[in-house]
């Protein structure tokens, strides 16, 4: 039984699971910290709105987190909230979906520039 909202590529056809920003595949280190946990994981994708972190150590939905994301032009510091959890299943990595808190202009531009250089994982219709 899932402990949160399950999202995977097949669920992208569900209007409630559509994102306002294209998700860009990325495999880079990210560290997450909340009041009670700290761990490192790998991102699966990123957008201007948030990212997916592949990890076997899920955080509860609603957890406020601090993130350090390794981008090609250097580390990015951001905060956000865990919005959904994906448990381990065949063919899908477990992890958490994190929505960014409002980013400062420079951070938002760095993510937008990175995303513009990559092919999107999914396109919204």
Quick one: pLDDT band at residue 87, thresholds 50, 70, 90?
A: confident
The predicted-structure confidence for 92-121, as pLDDT tens digits, reads as follows 888 899 999 999 999 999 988 888 876 544
Query: Is pLDDT at 123 greater than 60 in this prediction?
Result: no
* Amino acid 125: pLDDT: 47
Residue 57 lies in a domain: yes
Q: Look at the chain and report how many structural domains it folds into.
A: 1
DSSP tag of 108: H
* Amino acid 20: pLDDT: 59
Residue 61 lies in a domain: yes
Tell me which residue range forms the domain holding 53. Answer: 22-116
Residue 122 lies in a domain: no
Tally of helices (H runs) and strands (E runs) in the chain? 1, 7
* Amino acid 109: pLDDT: 93
Neighbour count for residue 8 (Cβ, 10 Å): 12
CA distances from residue 51 to 1, 5, 17, 82 in whole angstroms, order as listed: 23, 15, 14, 10
Residues 6+ apart with CB under 8 A from 36: none
The predicted-structure confidence for 4-61, as pLDDT tens digits, reads as follows 333 333 333 333 344 556 677 767 778 878 877 777 777 778 888 999 988 888 788 9
CATH number at residue 32: 2.40.10.220
Residue 43 lies in a domain: yes
The predicted-structure confidence for 65-85, as pLDDT tens digits, reads as follows 999 988 888 999 999 999 999
């Amino acid at each position: 039984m899932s402990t949160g909202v399950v999202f995977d590529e097949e669920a992208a056809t569900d209007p409630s699971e559509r994102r306002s920003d294209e998700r860009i595949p990325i495999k880079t280190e990210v560290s997450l910290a909340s009041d009670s946990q700290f761990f490192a994981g790998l991102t699966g994708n990123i957008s201007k709105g948030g990212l997916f972190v592949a990890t076997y150590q899920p955080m509860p939905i609603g957890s406020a987190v601090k993130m350090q994301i390794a981008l090609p032009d250097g580390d990015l510091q951001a905060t956000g909230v865990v919005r959904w959890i994906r448990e381990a299943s065949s063919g899908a990595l477990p992890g958490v979906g994190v929505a960014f808190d409002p980013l400062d202009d420079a951070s938002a531009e760095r993510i937008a520039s990175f995303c513009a250089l990559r092919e999107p994982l999914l396109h919204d219709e």
